Chains A and B, each alone.
Chain A
Amino acid sequence: MKNILKLLLVALLAAPVKLAAQMPAVEMADTFRQDGKIYVVISIMAIILLGIAAYLFALDRKIGKLEKKD
């Protein structure tokens, strides 16, 4: 009984590994990530977003000032 359980456990644990091995490897940008270049992309996108945000905040303040004048 114990042996059967053990076998079942092993089979269950091994199943995903086996499945993964059978699937054709889908190409992803793994080396690119390993090189750490992805952080370059992230920084660029973050800078653009924050730049636009700063611009919008400045615009918001300018309009606010005009509204106070009236």
Chain B
Amino acid sequence: MKAIFRVVQLNFQLEWSERRSYFSILIYVLSTVYLSNLVFNEILSPESWNAFFWVIFLFAAVQAAYRSFYFEADQRFLLYYGWVKPEHLILGKIIYNFFYLLAVALFTSGFFGFLMGFPIASPGAFITVLTLASLGFSSILTLVAAISAKAGNNPALPAILSIPLLYPQILTLSKLSIRSLTGFSWEINAQLLIVLALLALVSLLLSFLLFPYLWRD
């Protein structure tokens, strides 16, 4: 437990020392949201709001998580190898990415709402969906980032590898979030929420189980 926390802490310190990666995500979100505002020069229907939001968040998330193992592929990897077990490393990275993606999601929805209006009928439901999304995304994207770092940092690889894997989640998510925009009933949507939570859990478990095989060299 302590080791996992240590990984999260160290990861944050190292990323903070190179703040430009945070800024690049920030600018990415700002410019894409503004672009969709320019292109869609009118009030968005909740359906288009939903579609735009998830596409922007998806690509921001892929960008953000892509850097997870950017350094480990060569130098920092040696540093970790001595004292961190791969199981702890992957959990730490997933936890770190979970908070990171959640922050990106909240920021994106905030700025998106600022420009395009907030047609959200049930904010509680929307934030629940965002949290589950961040958890599922971070489990898959962290593992994919590890794979693509090992495959030699080909910049197109993370998107190619992760987006098909994310489809089941995105489909469930967008269905749920459109309901949170138009009016949400917890009883009716409990089933979909459980599916989403299970999807996130399965991805987490798979990443946890498969990562050690990836990491030994």
Direct A–B contact present (CB less than 8 angstroms): no
Interface residues of B (CB under 8 A from A): none
